[in-house]
């Protein structure tokens, strides 16, 4: 089976490729734009890296030649007009997938809050899924909240805030709920979907423990130093001020921080968590993941 991955050099893509290479029946094609994006750490005779320009229909179709399954991991977060760009790129991919006879698309998006105003970032994730599905290729849309892994921007924000600010003043909207999940669990879930028949546009929401953002920060602090952070919420805290604060403390790019911070004002929890239904097991607990990642971060920094 031939699996083509758009967005392969990123945090999710590289971890996914490592997982999929354990399946001996798969031949994997990963996309790249620049040679330096190709990770040196992943090499296998069943893995081909292929340059693709999604602004070129010919290049996009060439990338999907012989593909049975397309895994779509493109994310324009940080771009000036990321919503428009996300939809444009998804349209190019969906159109090419239809023309090249791709049998199924698997797309990793975000959980969209019910009965609440979604942030531009989460709205873009939802519209990307709708755009991919509009071309008629069966689409499995995986919706996740926060992905926990050392390479994840969301985890890096949580980690460095928790580490550097044992006592912190935060926006009141950190009382919102989320359902973080280990990236390796999300990758495992996508791997299971490769074998599953998909009809139409099917949505799979996944997550681990449901927790408030402020408690996630405190629990991360506990994983780092053995005791949680003291968090003092304030009712007024502008998004742009929060983003500047995040950039200063964590080093995450301001435009990315703004988009992610806007998403913290609403609940991002699964209305129907399908993780166990598909994988046959429970996801790793948030506390266990945070402890594991804190140890990894310690080893990287020493």
Task: Considering only residues 113 and 186, tell me which one the structure prediction assigns the higher pLDDT.
Answer: 186
Per-residue confidence (pLDDT) for residue 53, from 0 to 100? 95
Q: How confident is the model at residue 264 (pLDDT cuts 50, 70, 90)?
A: confident
Per-residue confidence (pLDDT) for residue 89, from 0 to 100? 96
Cα 250 from Cα 252, distance rounded (Å): 6
Per-residue confidence (pLDDT) for residue 236, from 0 to 100? 61
What's the chain's average pLDDT? 91
Q: How far is CA 69 from CA 16, 131, 135, 302, in A?
A: 14, 17, 15, 40
Give the CA dihedral 31, 36, 39, 41, nearest 10 degrees: 150
What CATH code is carried by the domain that includes residue 106? 3.40.50.720
Per-residue confidence (pLDDT) for residue 239, from 0 to 100? 65
Residue range(s) defining the domain that contains residue 8: 2-145+180-207+270-278
> Does residue 166 lie within any of the structural domains?
no
Task: Considering only residues 266 and 163, tell me which one the structure prediction assigns the higher pLDDT.
Answer: 163
Per-residue confidence (pLDDT) for residue 80, from 0 to 100? 77
Quick one: average pLDDT of 153-160? 91
Cα 163 from Cα 262, distance rounded (Å): 22
> Does residue 285 lie within any of the structural domains?
no
> Does residue 154 lie within any of the structural domains?
no
> Does residue 85 lie within any of the structural domains?
yes
**pLDDT single digits (tens) 8-53:** 999 999 999 999 999 999 999 999 998 888 988 898 999 999 999 9
> Does residue 218 lie within any of the structural domains?
no
**pLDDT single digits (tens) 230-244:** 988 777 656 666 777
Q: Tell me the β-bridge partners of 72.
A: 6, 107
Of 53, 33, 50, 201, whose CA–CA distance to 128 is shortest? 201
Distance in Å from the first CA to the final CA of the chain = 41
Per-residue confidence (pLDDT) for residue 288, from 0 to 100? 98
Q: How confident is the model at residue 139 (pLDDT cuts 50, 70, 90)?
A: very high
Q: How confident is the model at residue 65 (pLDDT cuts 50, 70, 90)?
A: very high
Per-residue confidence (pLDDT) for residue 237, from 0 to 100? 58
Per-residue confidence (pLDDT) for residue 249, from 0 to 100? 82
Name the range with the highest mean pLDDT among 27-41, 109-123, 180-194, 265-279.
180-194
> Does residue 232 lie within any of the structural domains?
no
**pLDDT single digits (tens) 157-211:** 899 989 998 998 877 778 889 999 999 999 999 999 999 999 999 999 999 999 9
> Does residue 36 lie within any of the structural domains?
yes
**pLDDT single digits (tens) 71-85:** 999 988 767 788 899
> Does residue 81 lie within any of the structural domains?
yes
**Total number of domains constituting the chain:** 1
């Amino acid at each position: 089976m031939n699996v083509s991955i758009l967005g392969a050099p990123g945090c999710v893509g590289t971890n996914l490729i490592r997982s999929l290479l354990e399946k001996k029946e798969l031949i994997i094609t990963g996309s790249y734009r620049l040679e330096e994006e190709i990770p040196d750490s992943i090499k296998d005779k069943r893995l081909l890296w292929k340059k693709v320009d999604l602004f070129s229909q010919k290049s996009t179709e060439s990338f999907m030649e012989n593909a049975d399954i397309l895994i779509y991991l493109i994310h324009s977060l940080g771009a000036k007009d990321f919503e428009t760009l996300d939809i444009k790129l998804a349209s190019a991919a969906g159109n090419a997938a239809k023309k090249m006879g791709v049998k199924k698309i698997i797309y990793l998006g975000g959980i969209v809050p019910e009965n609440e105003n979604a942030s531009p970032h989460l709205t873009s994730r939802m519209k990307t899924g709708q755009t991919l599905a509009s071309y008629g290729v069966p689409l499995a849309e995986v919706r996740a909240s926060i992905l926990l892994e050392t390479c994840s921007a969301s985890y890096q924000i949580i980690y460095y805030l928790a580490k550097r600010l044992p006592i912190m003043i935060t926006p009141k909207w950190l009382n919102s709920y989320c359902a973080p999940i280990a990236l390796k669990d999300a990758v495992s879930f996508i791997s299971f979907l490769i074998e599953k028949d998909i009809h139409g546009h099917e949505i799979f929401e996944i997550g681990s423990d449901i927790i408030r953002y402020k408690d996630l920060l405190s629990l991360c602090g506990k994983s780092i130093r053995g005791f949680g952070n003291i968090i003092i919420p304030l009712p007024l805290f502008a998004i742009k001020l929060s983003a500047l604060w995040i950039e200063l403390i964590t080093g995450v790019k301001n435009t990315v921080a703004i988009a992610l911070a806007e998403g913290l004002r609403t609940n991002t929890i699964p209305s129907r968590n399908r993780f166990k239904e598909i994988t046959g097991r429970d996801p790793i607990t948030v506390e266990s993941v945070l402890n594991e990642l804190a140890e990894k971060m310690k080893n990287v920094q020493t």
